[in-house]
Structure 1
Amino acid sequence: MLQIHRHGPIHEIQLARPPVNALTPELLSALRTAVEAAPADGAQGIILSGGAKVFSAGMDVPHLMSLDAAGLKAGWASLFAAARAIAASPVPVAAALAGHSPAGGCVLALCCDYRIMARGPFRIGLNEVQVGLVAPDAIQHLMRRVVGTYRAERLLVSGELVESEQALACGLVDELTDAEHVSQRALVWLQELLKLPAQAMLATRALARADLVSALASFRDDDLDGFLDEWNSPQTQAALQALVARLGK
């Protein structure tokens, strides 16, 4: 479910679960392990990439709906664990988004230091409200810190997925390039960053990202229980069933 590509001191962790890198507990657990292991394996920077046309379509909803209560809770917990691992990585992480990045895909990207997205009709955002879910405050914080409070409110309340040009304009991504070059641009960005005095760069980075790490660390089991209550509500279940039906067509 993952492929590891080494570019000298920069390691690329590529999501590899066709066709759209839908996130399962197993994939997210593997991603967390890979991110946490990379620095000990010599990585001074990490590229997080996905597939062509789709970085990740977010959580695998049909799979989640097949799980019992304990499995469902563990499944959602795995998303937060992977997000925390990326956010707390001691080395910088650049997201290479060669396509769509909705919902959970956007969450993972927002935890990275820098986001490079493919130019074109590709969309990114947190669209949870469209299926009756409330993005927890820890996730909303990720959006607020990159696009600002008011713009985050508009995007979160509507559940809008924006195309790459608009994502760049509002700061949701940092750079656009052709789809086939996103990983190369991420590599170049990290290489330039690693030319800086390492101790000062990494210490400054840790201070600047402390709010991100703290927000994700503040999300506890009680918060997850509240989120799952929403998941199990009749209105949300009806919206999720409709989503699964659309996916099956």
Structure 2
Amino acid sequence: MTVLETLRHHDILELRLSRPPVNALDAELIRCLREAVEAAPASGARGIVLSGRPGMFSGGLDVPALLQLDRATMRTVWADFFGLLHALGTSPVPVVAAITGHSPAGGAVLSIFCDYRIMARGDYRIGLNETQVGLVVPELVQATLRRLVGNHRAERLMVAGAMLEAERALDVGLVDALADAEQVVEHAIRWLTDLLALPVEAMTETRRIARADLVALFDRPGAMDTAPFVDRWFSAEAQHVLGNLVARLKAKA
């Protein structure tokens, strides 16, 4: 069964996360998404929409699955995840995050590397809540969030691991627009269609200049170093907190 659906809307490629029940990011989905984003421009796509299902964009990392991995395999998974962030952040074509519902942790991380974020209106939450599960937000991700919402705001959100309701996320600039859950993808396609209707060379070069600071983040010393996150993942505190999280999930199931 596929974990990632691809849908064409003329020259816009929609990559729809399709891993029920919450589109959690396991090794396969991370790898497939990275490969799809990297391959999209060569397939003729002039823009990309990253979407989920109404009510749920992505529940973030698949903690139960990833806790089963050894250190070497986890390094490979995290290298793929950083590679996915690089593909989104440096994409030669614009990428819109159609945040169709809840988007904690890894889901929120994916969205901040995109050009534009449209989130479902209503009782949905988004945020980088890594500290709540014993993890540290990597510097590359922190720098990208600071670029988006400002230094102090990013500090407060990340240190607390805050999960914001959609309206609040719009207020602080974590997302750019809201739409009804069933209309989020349509709005994303419309935004991209309007952008792609501009004179191509002028839009493309202006976008390149505007995103140069984001692209430069990947060239900082250690920016793509997976070791600190993997070390933290296998720390006693993180394993304890993550283990308790998995136990609670199993109890609910």
Given the two structures, how large is their TM-score scaled by the length of structure 1?
0.96
Distance 1:219 1:74 in 2: 20
> How far is the alpha carbon of 1:217 from its aligned partner?
4.3
Residues 171-216 of structure 1 deviation map (CA, whole Å, 9 limit, x = unaligned): 0000001000000000110011011111111111111112222223
Are residues 146 and 73 of structure 1, via their aligned partners in 2, closer, same or farther at CA, if it must alter by over 3 Å?
same
Match of 2:68 in 1: 66
Match of 2:90 in 1: 88
Native 8 Å contact 1:139 1:216 kept in 2: no
Match of 2:54 in 1: 52
Distance 2:222 2:249 in 1: 31
Are residues 61 and 217 of structure 1, via their aligned partners in 2, closer, same or farther at CA, if it must alter by over 3 Å?
farther
Native 8 Å contact 1:79 1:104 kept in 2: no
- Counterpart AA for 2:111: A
The 5 A counterparts of 1:133-144 are: 133-144=135-146
Match of 2:174 in 1: 172
Native 8 Å contact 1:84 1:217 kept in 2: no
Native 8 Å contact 1:20 1:57 kept in 2: yes
Distance 1:162 1:116 in 2: 14
Distance 2:128 2:195 in 1: 28
> How far is the alpha carbon of 1:221 from its aligned partner?
8.3
Are residues 158 and 221 of structure 1, via their aligned partners in 2, closer, same or farther at CA, if it must alter by over 3 Å?
closer
Are residues 15 and 182 of structure 1, via their aligned partners in 2, closer, same or farther at CA, if it must alter by over 3 Å?
same
Which of 215, 239, 245 matches 2:247?
245
> How far is the alpha carbon of 1:90 from its aligned partner?
0.5
Native 8 Å contact 1:99 1:122 kept in 2: yes
Distance 1:175 1:242 in 2: 35
Native 8 Å contact 2:82 2:224 kept in 1: no
**2:28 is equivalent to residue 26 of structure 1:** yes
Which of 94, 99, 114 matches 2:116?
114
Tell me the percent identity. Answer: 55
Q: CA RMSD in A?
A: 1.4
> How far is the alpha carbon of 1:44 from its aligned partner?
0.8
Distance 2:148 2:246 in 1: 31
- Counterpart AA for 1:86: L
Unpaired runs of 5+ in structure 1?
Answer: none
Distance 1:158 1:61 in 2: 20
Distance 2:226 2:82 in 1: 10
> How far is the alpha carbon of 1:218 from its aligned partner?
3.5
- Counterpart AA for 1:147: V
Are residues 221 and 203 of structure 1, via their aligned partners in 2, closer, same or farther at CA, if it must alter by over 3 Å?
closer
Distance 1:126 1:238 in 2: 20
Distance 1:132 1:246 in 2: 15
Residues 73-112 of structure 1 deviation map (CA, whole Å, 9 limit, x = unaligned): 1112211111111111111011111101111101111111
Given the two structures, how large is their TM-score scaled by the length of structure 2?
0.95
Match of 1:226 in 2: 228
Native 8 Å contact 2:41 2:93 kept in 1: yes
Which of 191, 208, 211 matches 2:213?
211
The 5 A counterparts of 1:117-136 are: 117-136=119-138
Residues 58-84 of structure 1 deviation map (CA, whole Å, 9 limit, x = unaligned): 111111110111111111221111111
Match of 1:193 in 2: 195
Distance 1:241 1:171 in 2: 33
Distance 1:91 1:219 in 2: 26
- Give 3-state SS (helix, strand or coil) of 2:75's partner: helix
- Counterpart AA for 1:208: A
Distance 2:235 2:113 in 1: 29
Instruction: Provide the aligned length of Structure 1 versus Structure 2.
Output: 249
The 5 A counterparts of 1:8-19 are: 8-19=10-21
